[in-house]
Amino acid sequence: LRNRCGVPQKNLSACDINNAVLDMARKSGLITKGWSFDEAGIMLADCDLVFLCILPAAMHNFLEKWETAFKPGALITDIAGVKKSIAAHAEKIREDIDFIPGHPMAGFEKGGFINASFVNFTGKNYILCPLARNKPENLQFIKELILRMDFGRITETSAACHDEKIAYTSQLCHVIAASLIECESDTSIARFGGGSFEDFTRIAMLNAPMWAELFVSNRDVLLEKINRFEKSVDVIKNLVLEGNISDLEQILVRVRDRRLNMSDYCKTESGG
Amino acid sequence: LRNRCGVPQKNLSACDINNAVLDMARKSGLITKGWSFDEAGIMLADCDLVFLCILPAAMHNFLEKWETAFKPGALITDIAGVKKSIAAHAEKIREDIDFIPGHPMAGFEKGGFINASFVNFTGKNYILCPLARNKPENLQFIKELILRMDFGRITETSAACHDEKIAYTSQLCHVIAASLIECESDTSIARFGGGSFEDFTRIAMLNAPMWAELFVSNRDVLLEKINRFEKSVDVIKNLVLEGNISDLEQILVRVRDRRLNMSDYCKTESGG
C-alpha cells in the first residue's frame, strides 16, 4: 500500500478494533505502530494530526470518552458522510484542540484494509465544513494535505449545506441502487446488462450498517430528496402509460441538456 | 476509426440520411461507398450482409419499402433496443432472405459517427433473438462476427424474453437517470458528486427521440418494472421515516449479497 500523501511517514499510528488488521498495516510498512481501542488515549496524547474514521454515533462516543486525551494543539478531522451532528460536536470540543469536519467523496464498494489500495482519490471531490473557531493555518494545512492525496477539488461549505447536497448526490443514489437490486431476484439478469446496470448497482455492494445509520442520521433531507425523485419517476411513468412520445422526448431533451451543463463539474467524467 | 472485426473490408457500403456523415466515413476509409436513403435499393441489391441501425418504427417502414430490393440469400440483422415487433416483422419477411434480430449491449452517451470510436465493445454482452426459420450457418456466422468485434458474451433468447429483461437492466436505468436529473435544477451540485452520481446520470445524456420511442414500444413491461422499483423505494423510504435502522440494515445486507451473486454475470465489473 502506498503512502498517498507522498510525504515521509516517520510516526504514523493507527487505532482499530481489529488487531489482525493493525498487524497487517504495520507489516505492510504503512503504519509504525498499531493501538487497540483501549489504548486510544496513549496514542492520542502523542498525535499532532488525527483522522477520525468511524461512524457518526460511534464517533460521538469516542470523542466523549477520549476528549481529555488529545494532545494540546492537536488538529482533528474526520471523514463521516454526514456533517451536521459532527460539526455541532466539533464546535463544543476542548478549546485547545482544532476539529475541522471533512468528507472525501471517494469510496470503493468493498471495504476494509485489504481493499484500500483500490480506492482512487485522483481528481475526486473533497468537502470541508470549517468552523468559525478553526485556525486558518490548520485549514490551510488540511487543504494542502488533501491535494497531496491527489484529490481534484476542495469545496468548503457549511455542515447543513453538505448534508443537503449529499442527500441527493450520494444517499439518494444508494437508496436507488439498493431498491433496484431489491426489486429483482434473478441474479442471472446481469447477462442482459449493457454497462449502465452494472454502474447503477455497483454501490449496492455497500457497507450495510454504515449506510443504514447515514440514511437515518440525515432523515429529513433524504426523505425530501426521495419524494422529489419519486415525483419525477411518476411524471415519466405516466407519459409512458399514455404513450405520449412527444412530451417524453421533451423531458429527455431537457434532462440531457441539464446533465451536459453539469459535466463541467464532473471531474471524473470518462469517455470523449 | 478502426475496423472492429479485424477482417479485410473490400466492399463495405453504408446508407444514411446525412450525406456529410457518409463522406466522412468514406474519407476515413471505413466504408468504400456511401448511399443516400433514396438509393438504398441499389445498395441492398448488392449486399450479402446487412446491419439495420435505425429506430424500430423507421425500421418497419424501411423494410416495407425495400423488402423486394434485398439480394436473394442475404443475411440481415439489426441492433434495435426492443425486439418483439422486429422479430414479428423478421418472421414474415421474404423467404429467400434471413433476418436474425440482435441487440449489442454496448453504447456511448454521445451519438453519431464522430463519437463512434469511443464505444467500447470489449467484454460486453450481445443478445441474439434467433427465429426458428433462421439458417444455422447464418446464426453461426453472426456469432463469429460478434466475437471478432470483441464482445464478451452472446446470449440467445426469445424476443419476448429480451424485452422483459431489458426493461429492467436498460430501460428502467434510463428512466431513473432521467428522473434523477429532472428532480434537481442546480447544475453545480456535481461538486458534491462522489462517483456514483456521475455514473448514475451519465446515461441521462441520452438520445431523447430514441429512448422516448423505446420506452413506449415496451410500455407494458417497462411500467411493471417501474412499479416494482417504486415499491422497493417506498419500503426503504418508510424505514428511513421510522428511523428503523435494524430493518434497513437487513435489507441492505440482502441487497449487497444479491448484487455480489450477480457479479459472476457482470463481465464489465471494474476494481478488485
Q: Which pLDDT belongs to residue A149?
A: 92
The predicted model gives B173-190 an average pLDDT of: 94
State mean pLDDT over A3-18.
74
pLDDT at A4: 52
Task: Choose the closest CB to A182 out of B177, B192, B251.
Answer: B251
In percent, how much of chain B has pLDDT > 90? 79
Q: What is the structure's pLDDT at B269? A: 43
A258 vs B contacts (CB less than 8 Å): 181, 185, 187, 204
Interval A227-237 mean pLDDT: 98
Pick from B115, B187, B254: which is nearest to A272 by CB?
Answer: B115
Do B268 and A203 count as a contact with CB atoms less than 8 A apart? no
Determine what percent of chain A is predicted with pLDDT higher than 90. Answer: 79
Q: Determine, for residues B215 and A187 on separate chains, whether the beta-carbon distance falls below 8 Å.
A: no
Quote the CA–CA distance of B51 and B78 in Å, as a whole number: 5
Tens of pLDDT, residue by residue over A59-99, are 999 999 999 999 999 999 999 999 999 999 999 999 999 99
Q: Which of A5-19, B2-16, B154-168 has the lowest mean pLDDT?
A: B2-16
Query: Helix, strand, or coil here: A98?
Result: strand
pLDDT for B21 beyond 80: yes
Average pLDDT, chain B: 91
* Integer Rg of chain B from CA: 21
Q: Is the pLDDT of residue B162 over 80?
A: yes
Instruction: Give pLDDT, residue B9.
Output: 60
- Residues from chain B that touch A222, judged by Cβ atoms under 8 A, are 240
Give the pLDDT mean for B161-168: 97
pLDDT given for residue A5 in this prediction: 52
- Chain A hits for B168, CB-CB cut-off 8 Å, are 184, 189, 192, 197
**Contact A193/B107, CB-based, under 8 Å?**
no
pLDDT for residue B184 is more than 80? yes
Higher pLDDT, B132 or A114: B132
Most confident of A6-10, A140-144, A190-194: A140-144
What is residue B270's predicted lDDT score, i.e. its pLDDT? Answer: 41
**C-beta of residue B166 within 8 angstroms of C-beta of residue B218:** yes
**Among partner residues A173, A201, A223, which is closest to B197 by beta-carbon distance?**
A173
pLDDT, tens only, B195-236: 889 888 999 998 999 999 999 999 999 999 999 999 999 999
Which of A48-57, A131-140, A257-266, B249-258 bottoms out in mean pLDDT, i.e. has the lowest?
A257-266
Q: Which amino acid is at A271?
A: G
Q: What is the pLDDT of residue B77?
A: 98
Helices (H) then strands (E): counts for chain B: 11, 8
> What CA–CA distance (Å, rounded) separates B61 from B190?
42
The yes-or-no verdict on residue B1 having pLDDT over 70 is no
What would the grid cell of residue A86 be?
Answer: 459532527
Specify whether the CB–CB gap between B35 and B13 falls below 8 A.
yes
- The per-residue pLDDT of chain A, averaged, comes to 91
Q: Looking at the predicted complex, does its ipTM rise above 0.85?
A: yes
**Above 80 in pLDDT, residue B148?**
yes
The pLDDT of residue A109 is 75
Q: Which residue of A has its CA nearest to B191?
A: A265
The torsion angles phi and psi of B207, rounded to 5 degrees, stand at -80, 100
B271 pLDDT above the threshold of 60: no
Closest residue in B to A157 (Cα) is B192
> B37, B5, B2: which is closest to B19 by C-alpha?
B37
Confidence class for position B111, pLDDT limits 50, 70, 90: confident
Instruction: Identify the band that residue A269 occupies on the pLDDT scale cut at 50, 70 and 90.
Output: very low
List CB contacts (< 8 A) between B163 and chain A: none
b/e for A166-193, b at 16 or more Cβ within 10 A?
bbbbbbbbbbbbbbbbbbbeebebbbbb
The Cα diameter of chain B in Å comes to 68
Is residue B191 over pLDDT 60? yes
Asked whether residue B242 carries a pLDDT value surpassing 90, the answer given is yes
Rounded to whole angstroms, the Cα distance separating B186 from A264 reads 13
- The mean per-residue pLDDT over the stretch B146-163 comes to 96
| Grid coordinates belonging to B154 | 452472446
Identify the DSSP state of A221. Answer: H
